[in-house]
Chain A
Amino acid sequence: MIAAVLTALILPKHPYAALALAAGQLLSALNFFFLEKLVKLFTHATVTRREGGSGSLPGRFFAFAGLKVTLVYGAVAALTLTRWVEPLPFLGGFSLPLLALFLKSLMLAFGSGPNSLVRRATKTAATSGNVAKPAALLLILALFVVHGAALASDAVPPSGTAAATGTHGATEAHGAAGTAQPAEHAAAKSEGGAQHLPNWVILLNDYFPHNPVVHWLHENEVLVFAWLSGLVFLLIAWIAMRRPKPVPGQLQNALEWIVESLDDVCGGLLGSHKERYIIFISALFFYILTINLLGIIPGFMSATSSLDLTLALALITFAYVQFWGIRNLGILGYLDHLAGSPRDPIGFAMLPVMVPVHILGELAKPVSLSCRLFGNIFGEDTLIVVFVGATALLLKASLAALAVPPMLGISALFMMLQTLTAIVQALIFSLLATVYLYMMLPHEEHAHGETEPAHS
Chain B
Amino acid sequence: MNFAATLGFGLPLGIGLAAIGSGIGIGFMGKGAMEAMGRQPEILPKLQVAMIIGFGFAEALTIYAFVTMFFLQGRIG
Residues of A within 8 A of B (CB): 162, 165-166, 185-186, 189-190, 193-194, 264-265, 268-269, 307, 368, 371-372, 374-376, 378-379, 424, 427-428, 431-432, 435, 455
B53 touches A371 (CB 8 A): no
On chain A, the residues within 8 Å of B75 by CB distance are: 189
- Complex Cα spacing A268 to B74, Å: 44
Given A371-B64, A375-B66, A379-B66, is A455 in contact with B56 using a C-beta cutoff of 8 Å? no
Does B29 touch A at the CB level, under 8 Å?
no
Does B13 touch A at the CB level, under 8 Å?
no
B73 touches A371 (CB 8 A): no
Does B3 touch A at the CB level, under 8 Å?
no
B49 touches A455 (CB 8 A): yes
Given A431-B53, A432-B53, A455-B53, is A376 in contact with B63 using a C-beta cutoff of 8 Å? yes
- Complex Cα spacing A372 to B53, Å: 12
Tell me the chain B residues, 26-77 only, with Cβ under 8 Å from chain A: 45-46, 49-50, 52-53, 55-56, 59-60, 63-64, 66-67, 70-71, 73-75, 77
B74 touches A186 (CB 8 A): yes
Closest Cβ–Cβ distance, residue B66 to chain A (whole Å)? 5
B60 touches A372 (CB 8 A): yes
Excluding A368-B60, A428-B56, 18 further A-B contacts by CB distance (< 8 Å) are A165-B71, A165-B73, A165-B74, A189-B74, A189-B77, A193-B73, A193-B74, A372-B56, A372-B59, A372-B63, A374-B67, A375-B63, A379-B63, A428-B53, A431-B49, A431-B56, A432-B53, A455-B46
A264 touches B70 (CB 8 A): no
On chain B, the residues within 8 Å of A190 by CB distance are: 73-74
On chain A, the residues within 8 Å of B45 by CB distance are: 264-265, 268
* Category for how many chain B residues contact A: 20 to 34
On chain B, the residues within 8 Å of A428 by CB distance are: 52-53, 55-56
- Complex Cα spacing A379 to B53, Å: 20
On chain A, the residues within 8 Å of B49 by CB distance are: 265, 268-269, 431, 455
- Complex Cα spacing A427 to B60, Å: 14
The 4 closest A-B pairs by CB, nearest first: A375-B63, A189-B74, A428-B56, A455-B50
On chain B, the residues within 8 Å of A432 by CB distance are: 53, 56
- Closest residue of chain B to A373 (Cβ to Cβ) is B63
- Closest residue of chain A to B56 (Cβ to Cβ) is A428
14 contacts between A and B (CB under 8 A): A185-B74, A186-B74, A189-B74, A190-B74, A194-B70, A268-B49, A372-B63, A379-B66, A427-B52, A428-B53, A431-B49, A432-B56, A435-B53, A455-B53
- Complex Cα spacing A372 to B62, Å: 9
On chain B, the residues within 8 Å of A378 by CB distance are: 70
- Complex Cα spacing A165 to B74, Å: 7
On chain A, the residues within 8 Å of B77 by CB distance are: 189
On chain A, the residues within 8 Å of B55 by CB distance are: 428
**For A189, A375, A431, which residue has the most chain B Cβ atoms within 10 angstroms?**
A375
On chain A, the residues within 8 Å of B52 by CB distance are: 424, 427-428, 431
- Complex Cα spacing A368 to B45, Å: 25
- Closest residue of chain B to A455 (Cβ to Cβ) is B50
